[in-house]
Structure 1
Amino acid sequence: MPDTTEDMVAEAPDAMDVAAEPPSGPTKEFDLFEYFSIGSHVGKTLFANFTAELLTTVFGREVIVVRIESKGSRSAGDIHINSEDFAASARLPGGEVALLRPVFDRLESMAQKEVRPVIVIDWGGGLSEYRAKIWAATRIDKRLADLNMRCLSVVTTTSLMDRMRHATKLIEQTRLITPGLNLVLLLNRRVGGFTFIQGSEEARVFHELRKAAEGISIIKAQSITGESWQSCEAAGLSMSEVINADLRTLQHRLGGESSFVASAYQMQVAAWWKNTERAFLKILGTASATQR
């Protein structure tokens, strides 16, 4: 068994490491963000929510959140599309495309506005093939270009082998059918880091992913310590509310939690926000934003 020394591991590229300072430069305006994967439990909803909150609280943008998920697990959002409806979509004029009519209507109306809102789409797990069919049929990259709009498409993965294989497939698929979209690979350390023993199957799969991702931006996201965010989310708190609340209020919102534990939650969520915000600012091409 080889030692796991630095020269015996494969690691994620450092170009977009959250520890790096974002470069100066103008903000890149994106009108549409989408988070997608083949499987579930990779953090799509967490990062979609973060993006919406970042754009609202830091940049002061109006955000329209689109949830495409099972009606049995409905999350907060402005537009809801039930994943169960895709099974019967072949009978609809336009097929699967018709189910996203509310999104397309919003995009066309947004194009007429001087100050546009931003749409954030949270695709449910298992819907990537429907996404591919819809984007190919509509030629989404060309339609957005006609409307003078830009989309940031975020392929999300954890360090599990099947999820990395899924991400490789999605990057290759998206580049083929919609080459005009701006792709980003998000490496979520939710179940562990992307450091593998050289020569292992995990290292080989990760190498394939890195090869597929050549030329696109990569975000390496840390996990939030323990179950801190899950506890706050279950209490109906947003990340900004957790970070900015005074301790007594936070304790109350957490059901009378100990001040020590509530303080730890606040620090852990704040640290995650700071690191993740820094990484996203690099993608957006801005060094600073309006302070909260």
Structure 2
Amino acid sequence: MTAQIEEKVSDCAICHDYVAAQQKEPLIPSQAPDLPWVEVASDIFTFSGDNNILSIDYYSKYIEVTQLKDMSAHETTECLEEHFSRQEIPEKLITYCGSQYASAKFQTFAKNYDFKHVLVSAKHPCVNGEAEAAVKIVKSLWRKNEDRHKSLLTYRTTPLPTMNLSPSQMCMARRLRTNLPMSCNLLQPEVNNQNEVKRRLQFNKNKQKCNYDRKPGPGSREWKPAVVVRHHTTWRSYVVDTGTLKCNSCIAFGIRGIQQNKCVTQTILQNRDYMQTFVSRTQQ
């Protein structure tokens, strides 16, 4: 009877829906693209009762938004064709598994425009995190400004954090004119240092990984005690001893302790100019 009960539970669809979540895995960031509009993410969102489709460039963070007339695959492909005609056809397009994106019409569109279409699960939005973050940005802008087009222009001309370049500068190598006073010399095209831009993009991705991996996941919601050995030479950092690692000591940000998952202990070394992640593999 025990075997029959186990078989019944293992085949229960409701039990599968409410099964305990697995241990959170460390984030695996994607590599920064070499050029604008090589890798693009797309998503569909609703705002004030209107359905809109969004495209964002992984390199420049340049956002295109178009209101959908309906939720059909034909309308979706028409709007993306409009985005690609203004920018360029990407090499890779990342979307969630919505009916519009997973349709045969969209697959034909991807084949005709010669780009790789990558579908990700809707239950794991962090896989398409670039599009999710862009939707939050657009909704925040539209809540603050009734003129949606002007608010998007404001975003496109605002320098990105840590980049010192706006999306328009990274995408078009020039600033866009707004209603703010600006010298004509600043509107001249200016070539960006591609190596420096890519280095900063990769730095931001590594920083996001640090912040993501530091958050406790299911089954790991406690801080491990540690002893401060001495101050480190870097700013606001300390050498601490956890007593559980294979190595004798490690560098941690602050003195609260070191977050330890089942098989990975990650510590952060931070100073004013850069952040570098050290990952120490430990055995169970």
Give the TM-score normalised by the residue count of structure 2.
Answer: 0.29
Higher RCO by CA contacts (8 Å cutoff, separation 6 or greater):
1
The structure with more strand, counted as a fraction of residues: 2
